[in-house]
Amino acid sequence: MAKLKEKGINPGLAVIIVGDDPASRVYVNNKKKACEYCGIKSEEYALPEGTTQEELLKLIEELNGRDDISGILCQLPVPEHISEEAVINAIDPKKDVDAFHPVNVGKIMVGNYDFVPCTPAGVMELIHESGIDVSGKECVVVGRSNIVGKPQAMLLLHENGTVTICHSRTKDLAEKTKNADILVAAVGKPNFITGDMIKPGAVVIDVGINRMPDKKLCGDVEFETAEKIAGAITPVPGGVGPMTIAMLMKNTVKAAIVNKTK
């Protein structure tokens, strides 16, 4: 970070949270701590639940125009009276460190991107750091959200994986997942993927984070049965979650460099 600052590149992240959703508050606090750890300037805008869409978009417009803010993130979900699409579209694509703007989504599709959504990026980082080669592997992504499932599939495809996307209408899901060399679970249902749905020796990456009635966290994969079958598996908590935050920091730094040279 010191070398960047010597070049006049000073990453700054603006995080907007509307309302007082407890999970969103935890995420925002974690992002703030990560910025402090990395030496990235962060600004938090905690807006009341009743904030209008017009007020929120005006704030985003102001942040778009500030040279000292390289990345803008609006914590989702926002209250129902605010359009998520309008919020995402309002953020300057060059400051869109979540990579949700249609411009950045399109760039991911063609493989010429500056930013990748933080969770799929974190999954790929885990794969790379573990020395796993995606090329030629059967990759199955369970979940088709715009935030995780779809971009995850594209990133695996860009590395020459053979990718299957499964979802709520998929027939014979277990048949598909048992064929996966690399299985990414991102469906948002606790313990949804069980050990008997996994190919022996497969790489299993659990994106899910679900809070159970006893307040404990669990993923979309039933860890106890899956770890006996998988060759490698991520835990929940402590697996993909920290990587998501790390990739946000990486995107913020990259945004500072992109905006400095634009």
In this structure, the number of other CB atoms found within 10 A of the CB of residue 132 comes to 14
Q: For residue 139, give the nearest of 162, 166, 167 by alpha carbon.
A: 162
- Whether 33 is catalytic is no
Q: For residue 95, give the nearest of 139, 61, 57 by alpha carbon.
A: 61
CB-facing half-sphere around the CA of 115: CA atoms within 13 A: 36
22 upstream amide cis, omega within 30 of 0: no
Token pair, residue 160, equals: 């020459």
- Write down the catalytic residue from 31, 94, 199, 250: 31
Residue 201 CB-density burial (10 A; 0-12 exposed, 13-18 middle, 19+ buried):
exposed
- Write down the catalytic residue from 75, 96, 114, 220: 75
- Write down the catalytic residue from 92, 94, 96, 98: 98
Q: φ and ψ at 11, to 5 degrees?
A: -60, 140
- Whether 75 is catalytic is yes
Q: φ and ψ at 78, to 5 degrees?
A: -100, 165
- Whether 31 is catalytic is yes
DSSP state for residue 79 in the 8-state scheme:
P
Enumerate the active-site residues.
31, 75, 98
